[in-house]
Amino acid sequence: MKKEKIIMGIDPGTTIMGFGIIRVVGSQMTFIQMNELILKKYDDPFTKLKMIYDRTISLIETYHPDEIAIEAPFYGKNVQSMLKLGRAQGVAMAAGLSRQIPITEYFPKKIKMSITGNGNASKEQVAKMLQQLLKLKTLPKNLDSTDGLAAAVCHFYNQGKISQGKSYTGWAAFVKQNGDRID
């Protein structure tokens, strides 16, 4: 009997948080869910972070993922945007770690490369490839949910590979790997 695994992917954001969930049995993956949490209408940054945490916990309690794949914040020209993304990512990670779910972080280029074969692919190209791979009838208006789904699929494709990204199995592992960044 083949073991089943549920992988949840998260595209963190303080405007829109996208997520996708897949089921893996052996070498086969099937689509379960993708959606997004719209945060645009909230002005208070702490309310947004609480909503990200609460939604991630709700998804964990509903789908019981065995592993979480999360997109790493990327450095752009706006440092404030990166800090906000890092907070959103950290809150989502904290939710998973509070339930002892292993988390792996992937850079956006790694996710795009895993899905399309091109690390510079557009969001639309990633979404279209996911549509084909998972036989999705339609794509969402906002592509943040497909970005979350892409993180989950990337994790599936990179299972067992050495250079998959940073993985954390709990708070102790996170602190051990990031102790130099925590003051």
CA-CA distances (angstroms) from residue 152 to 95, 158, 159, 176? 17, 10, 11, 25
Residue 180 appears among annotated catalytic residues = no
Handedness of CA 2, 103, 40, 119 (dihedral sign): negative
Find out whether 43 is annotated in a ligand binding site: no
Find out whether 54 is annotated in a ligand binding site: no
Find out whether 144 is annotated in a ligand binding site: yes
Q: Which of 36, 67, 105, 144 is catalytic?
A: 144
Report the distance separating Cα 112 and Cα 107, nearest Å: 9
Residue 66 appears among annotated catalytic residues = no
Report the distance separating Cα 96 and Cα 127, nearest Å: 25
Q: Which of 36, 67, 71, 147 is catalytic?
A: 71
Residue 44 appears among annotated catalytic residues = no
Q: Which of 11, 36, 105, 147 is catalytic?
A: 11
Radius of gyration of the chain (CA): 15
Q: Which residues are annotated as a binding site for Mg(2+)?
A: 11, 71, 144
Task: Output the known binding site.
Answer: 11, 71, 144
Catalytic positions: 11, 71, 144
